Amino acid sequence: MSTLRVLAAMSGGVDSGVAAALLAEAGHAVTGVTLKLWCYGKSPVSPRACCTLDAIADARGVAQKMGFTHFVVEAEDVFRTRVLQPFLDDYAAGRTPYPCALCNQHLKFGDLVSRMELIGADALATGHYARIETLSDGSSALLRAVDRTKDQSYALALIPYSVLQRVRFPLGALDKSAVREHGRRLGLTLWDKPESMDLCFVPDGDYAGFMTRNLGETRGTAPGPFLDRDGRRLGTHRGIVHYTVGQRRGLGLAGAEALYVLAVEPERNAVVVGPRRALEAPGLVTAPVNWLCASAPGPGTRVEVMIRAHHPPAAATVHPRADGGAEVRFETPQSAVTPGQLCVMYEGDRVLGGATIQAALETLGPAPDAAYDDRDEVDSGDIAREASPAR
Amino acid sequence: MIYLDHNASTPVRREAREAMRACLTDVHANPSSLHGDGQRARAAVERARAQVARLVNAEPGEVVFLSGGTEGDHQAVIGAAWALEKRGRRVALSAIEHHAVHGAGQVLARLGYSIEHLPVNSDGFLDPRSIDTLPLDTTLVSLMLANNETGVLQPVAEVAERAHARGMRVHCDAVQAAGKVPIDLRALGADYLVISAHKLGGPKGVGALIVREGAPLESLLRGSDHEHGLRGGTENVPGIVGFGVAAECAARELASESARLLALRDRLEEGIRSVVPDAVVHGARAPRLPNTVNASYPGARSDRLLMALDAREVAVSAGAACASGAVEPSPVLAAMGVPRELAVCALRLSMGRTTTADEVERTLIALAYAVRAARGMDTAAGVRA
């Protein structure tokens, strides 16, 4: 392997720290960089929060141990406009956003890619669990990690196809225990740091509380009706930001059978609930797709899709639409299709593309062709965050 | 690496290193001890005191060793304000003082003192006439000799004359000037003067406060009767020995070295104007240190320039960027009225003993590239400054 000049994104966590350290150990010229995304001021919310000054110190500790330079890059403005604001707007619009994908798209594989030129970097490295493979025709493909339980390819599906060639994922072939073992072997103090499980900027998982307390958000916080599918009022909800499609817990509704959130409707300020089987949909429609292949696949291409971060892949066919989006038809109906989450399409281990889910299909009409007439307003700015069915 | 951050710290001189090594090997006793070994340690400290005194034309008895610039500034500003408290509880600090002086001002403010800030003009130069309008209960005026960011030399002698005429004492932070321009305590007229070893080829962690004969001062760190009772704590003997030797070398080479650096600085500035025609050199019309060039490169944010230059093996300082990544305009440039968008594009290049003409040329090539790359980032897709 020839020596590369590598820009290594370091969040302060174990994975990105070990990834950068492994590259340095292999003899590459590494420059570490930590994006300062979100400032908590002087009182870190939680030791797990990945954007605190402690995290910067942890990243710098790796750089000091391995003897490479580390910089902190202030990215609060980009984070606010490209990730945080869409996150708020999505919740207010009744969607369940997936901000990690936006952060990867605009910050780690957007802002940092533009910084590669600064240092004349050949490659950009992160600690994501995913792989990049060069195909026989010389093009690059994004693949799932070898360790399927840690695979993060879903969160990477919106990164620009053009950057794949320059990206390195040193952990793509490792499992988590091997990563920690490398961290220990290399003497990195963060080797046994706890895993961050939630959004870095809402480490306690209380999204609604974060939005209202920290950001002064008032949209979506007014109480309103729980309705059944026939429009009958079953009770009062606490504000639509507290609910997501597929949620069962915390509704406080008594019924003969368990009730689930079927839809969040900001126009009526209503949360529609119903039985579990009513959550099933035969397909979905997406916003414009970020294809991670040379050209969009032909109509009816057989794929596997994931419609949220930990969704077991489901067989489906994909039908690209004239507006750049896609209609995805499941082989068997899938539960809790959630607007705002990503639909990521796989061919085996390879990510073909990903897009924000706009809506579930209630029935399957004739398969769309390229001249398919658009039914919905396309809103390419709305992208998303993992559904947390019970939050 | 091309090291152009000598104002932050400069390599330890070989002579100082050797003297320190010998001291660490041979001198183990406490200078306050009365036995022979103790007296030998005392002699080493006193030899250094004389060496440091000569660098600034002071008497050895006026030199107080302490831990460096920050302690020196605190001891001078707070210690003088306390000692002069009967006359008033007000001190005046120039707007461009080092953080260490402003920090001392904050301590006084917390104790109920009033703090005046003296403005500078667009070249970063203080108008001595501003002393004439200070309230009469002002007891101390603090003005640095050379600004650490711009290198602009301040009219300390004239300020001291006007301050003394109104019964005020004068503190001068000469940390950045020492070893780069001649310093004469008597000619400056300062009552308190601070210098630091690691800016002139000595080790870090040691400095001196020069207290002019008769200038009142209360001690901050009290304990035994060290340093004429002004600074408690066992002396940092090897540090002080290295400081003394470095001061002696700096004094000896000052004339030739400053002439050499001035020629390099002129070439560097000329080159900057040629590779980045819209670059703005701060303090260009004021008298400046021979080693410092602080310039803004419009549209190229300093944090980006720093990264780009580091990757090309050129170490410089971005006055605007701190370790936590925040890009805030430097208070010094702000005091000079430099607009924010220009101030966040500033870099300080500071040369020193190891800097060569070849390094200056290579720096210019790297700088041209860095400015182009940093500016290019703003046109990259979807990214805003």
Q: Name the residue type at position A289.
A: V
Q: Closest approach of chain B CAs to the CA of A7, in angstroms?
A: 10
In a 3-state reduction of DSSP, which class is residue B364? helix
Q: Are A92 and A19 in contact (CB under 8 A)?
A: no
State how far the Cα of A246 lies from the Cα of B327, in Å rounded to an integer.
43
State how far the Cα of B23 lies from the Cα of B15, in Å rounded to an integer.
12
Q: Are A266 and A220 in contact (CB under 8 A)?
A: yes
Q: Which whole number is the average pLDDT over B115-127?
A: 95
Going by the DSSP 8-state scheme, the letter that residue A124 receives in this structure is E
Q: Are A344 and A156 in contact (CB under 8 A)?
A: no
User: What are the helix (H) ranges across A131-242?
Assistant: 176-185, 207-209
The pLDDT value given to residue A328: 97
Q: Name the residue type at position A182.
A: H
Inter-chain residue contact A72 with B307, CB threshold 8 Å: no
Q: What tens digit of pLDDT does each residue of A15-40 get?
A: 999 999 999 999 999 999 999 887 65
Indicate the average pLDDT of chain A.
Answer: 87
Beta bridge partners of B173: B194
CA B41 to chain centre: 29
- pLDDT over 60 (residue B365): yes
Whole-number percent of chain A with pLDDT over 90: 67
- pLDDT over 70 (residue A87): yes
**Which residue is catalytic, options B23, B172, B249, B322?**
B322
* Predicted TM-score (pTM) of this structure: 0.84
* A11 touches B at CB < 8 Å: no
Q: Looking at chain A from residue 78 to 117, which residues have their Cβ under 8 Å from any Cβ of chain B?
A: 78, 81-82, 106, 110-111, 113-115, 117
Q: Is A200 a catalytic residue?
A: yes
- The phi and psi torsions of A133 (rounded to 5 degrees) equal -125, 140
Inter-chain residue contact A119 with B310, CB threshold 8 Å: yes
State how far the Cα of A290 lies from the Cα of A353, in Å rounded to an integer.
5
Q: Is B322 a catalytic residue?
A: yes
Higher pLDDT, B95 or B323: B95
Of B207, B211, B290, B288, give the one whose Cα is nearest residue B247: B207
Q: What tens digit of pLDDT does each residue of B67-88 get?
A: 999 999 999 999 999 999 999 9
**Which residue is catalytic, options A51, A200, A293, A343?**
A200
In a 3-state reduction of DSSP, which class is residue B116? strand
Higher pLDDT, A191 or B103: B103
Inter-chain residue contact B324 with A53, CB threshold 8 Å: yes
- Residue position matching structure tokens 């579930």: A360
Beta bridge partners of B92: B116, B141
For B39, residues 6+ apart whose C-beta sits below 8 A from its C-beta are B33
Residue A368 pLDDT level (bands cut at 50, 70, 90) = low
Indicate the average pLDDT of chain B.
Answer: 94
Nearest CA in chain A to B373: A118
- pLDDT over 90 (residue A190): no
The pLDDT value given to residue A256: 79
- Residue position matching structure tokens 């940093």: B374
Nearest CB to A110; choose among B373, B374, B382: B382
- pLDDT over 50 (residue B337): yes
- Residue position matching structure tokens 């990195």: A188
The pLDDT value given to residue B324: 59
The pLDDT value given to residue B378: 67
- Helix/strand number for chain B, H first, E second: 11, 12
Nearest CB to B382; choose among A5, A36, A106: A106
Higher pLDDT, A329 or B329: A329
Least confident of A371-380, B38-47, B280-289, B366-375: A371-380
Q: What tens digit of pLDDT does each residue of A110-165 get?
A: 889 989 989 999 999 999 999 999 999 999 999 999 999 999 999 999 999 999 99
State how far the Cα of B367 lies from the Cα of B359, in Å rounded to an integer.
12
The pLDDT value given to residue A375: 39
Asked whether the ipTM of the predicted complex exceeds the cut of 0.85, the reply is no
State how far the Cα of B164 lies from the Cα of B161, in Å rounded to an integer.
5
Least confident of A247-251, A279-283, B44-48: A247-251
- Residue position matching structure tokens 């306390």: B82
The pLDDT value given to residue B376: 85
Q: Exposure of B135 by Cβ count < 10 A (0-12 exposed, 13-18 middle, 19+ buried)?
A: exposed
The pLDDT value given to residue A355: 97
Residues in chain A: 391
**Angle separating helix axes B99-110 and B69-83, nearest 10 degrees:** 40
The pLDDT value given to residue A383: 26
Nearest CB to B384; choose among A33, A78, A120: A78
For residue B92, give Cα distances in angstroms to A358, B17, B124, B133, B332. Answer: 64, 39, 17, 11, 16
Q: Are A245 and A96 in contact (CB under 8 A)?
A: yes
Q: What tens digit of pLDDT does each residue of A199-225 get?
A: 777 777 788 888 887 778 888 889 999
In a 3-state reduction of DSSP, which class is residue A316? strand
User: What are the helix (H) ranges across A190-348?
Assistant: 207-209
Nearest CA in chain B to A5: B311
Nearest CA in chain A to B368: A118
The pLDDT value given to residue B115: 98
The pLDDT value given to residue A207: 83
Of B118, B183, B177, B187, give the one whose Cα is nearest residue B150: B177
Q: Are B150 and B295 in contact (CB under 8 A)?
A: no
- pLDDT over 60 (residue A44): no
Which residues in chain B have Cβ-Cβ distances shorter than 8 Å to A120? 311-312, 373
* A56 touches B at CB < 8 Å: yes
Q: What tens digit of pLDDT does each residue of B247-280 get?
A: 999 999 999 999 999 999 999 999 999 999 999 9
